[in-house]
Amino acid sequence: MSETLKTVNQNIMPLNTKRNAKGNLEISGCDTVDLVEKYGTPLYVMDEVTLRAIAREYKDAFKNYKKVNMMFASKALMTGQIAKILHSEGFGFDVVSGGEIYTVNKAGVNMEMTTFNGNNKTTDELLLALELGVGRVSVDNFLELSLLNEVAKSFDKVQKVLLRITPGIECHTHEYIQTGQTDSKFGFDMTQIDEAVELILKEFTNLEIMGLHAHIGSQIFETQVYYDEIGVLMKELKRINDKFDLNLNEMNVGGGLGITYTEADCPPSVYTIAETILKSIEDHAEMYGMEEPVLYIEPGRSMVGTAGVTLYTVGSSKQVPGGRKYIAVDGGMADNPRPSMYGAKYEAVIANGKEEENLKKVTVAGRFCESGDILIKDIELNSPVAGDILCVFNTGAYGYSMSSNYNRVLKPEMILVNNSQSDIIVKRETYEQLVQNDCLL
């Protein structure tokens, strides 16, 4: 199956992306030039067809495993409408802040289908989580065990928890997005698990441990790391159950599946990952003589990355004598910090049609006051000039969610396109909103 079925995360462009009769780039029947005329730039564009397609691919890939919970990793992109769409596709949510908890709740999400994760949750966030009925809290450290127990006691309830552990598995991705190696800020070290379990059983009686949680990284192209991670988790579940006479049966393996940002990227399909995960569960259940556990999986980037593009307007340009040709756009590191943070690479095209194709190698610079504000180095574009529309692909994940007001620039609008229709799902920020929390003395 995995050899023949391609999934959305392996595409560079959203589904139904093409050049129309005018030569303009079109997504789900919406002409990108018309979108810019209507909404302005920079503009985040999310394609609902692509978003729902990847959600259904995940559900289909795991359909034969009846004990699976699909949880969208909200940090990749969280707005009320995105939450509403994914919840309608049967997804729960991995949330990592009070803001994400509040957003999914306002979107009408069944809060039992949420897991609260993070390495330094505040007391206020834990209070909000329990008040709104978050299903699981993935506990990250000893301080949190104590805090959460006190919060649960104040609500006179027993909160179900998972222990997040560091499984000692390193994947070949950027060091900033590795999370499963032993030297990590996240989770209990393997040597601390028994102490944490004992505290829950003997002292923190307003907590109920359900299982284990691990996450090994992001933008992963390997499959063996998932097989190995599950082996570690299931071995620990078996050991804990035997030692403490428990019946823990929940296992959250995180997410991390990569996407195709450029032609050089070759991520596995959702079906390939599913086969690997389910084969590992089957093998290790047989190896350890245990029941197959309830599985939680938390895709984020692979859910929303390909569905999103960002549209910019080209402005000034500069030819360095004997060097690069720079073109500047009206956005940059404040609406997409990934290239500046860790050298992320993207593909892009001039969205407006031109009579002739005349490719020029240029470097796309942002408008912000940093030399490092470069979106794309050395890309061939069709004769870019001031006023052209640049479409950067695969920006659905970690663009909007990591955006800022650097240089006091307004955050862009986000729209949803589907069936030749476009709708605003995040309004463009205004100057009045920008200063509304300023206090003048």
Residues annotated as catalytic are 369
Compute the radius of gyration of the chain from its Cα atoms. Answer: 23
Q: How far is CA 259 from the centre of its chain?
A: 11
Q: In the β-sheet with 25-27, what is the strand arrangement from edge to edge?
A: 17-19, 25-27, 30-31
SS3 432: helix
The neighbour count for residue 232, using CB atoms within 10 Å, is 20
Q: Tokens for 205?
A: 């009686």
Phi/psi region, residue 387 (left: phi>0; alpha: psi -120 to 50; beta: rest), is left
Q: Using CA atoms, how far apart are residues 155 and 269, in angstroms rounded to an integer?
A: 43
> In terms of C-beta density within 10 A (0-12 exposed, 13-18 middle, 19 or more buried), how is residue 382 classed?
middle
Strand-strand pairing, 413-418 and 374-382: unpaired
112 class by beta-carbon count within 10 Å (0-12 exposed, 13-18 middle, 19+ buried) = exposed
Helix then strand then coil, in percent of the chain rounded to 5, is: 35, 25, 40
Phi then psi for residue 411, to 5 deg, are -75, 145
DSSP strand pairing (359-365 vs 325-329): parallel
Q: Which residue has the tokens 């990592």?
A: 96
Query: Which is nearest to 95 in space by CA: 67, 126, 63, 72?
Result: 72
Cβ atoms of residues 300 and 76 within 8 Å: yes
Q: Alpha-carbon distance 73 to 166, whole Å? A: 18
DSSP state of 407: G
Question: How many residues in the chain?
Answer: 441
Task: Give DSSP secondary structure letters for 117-140.
Answer: --SS--HHHHHHHHHHT-SEEEE-
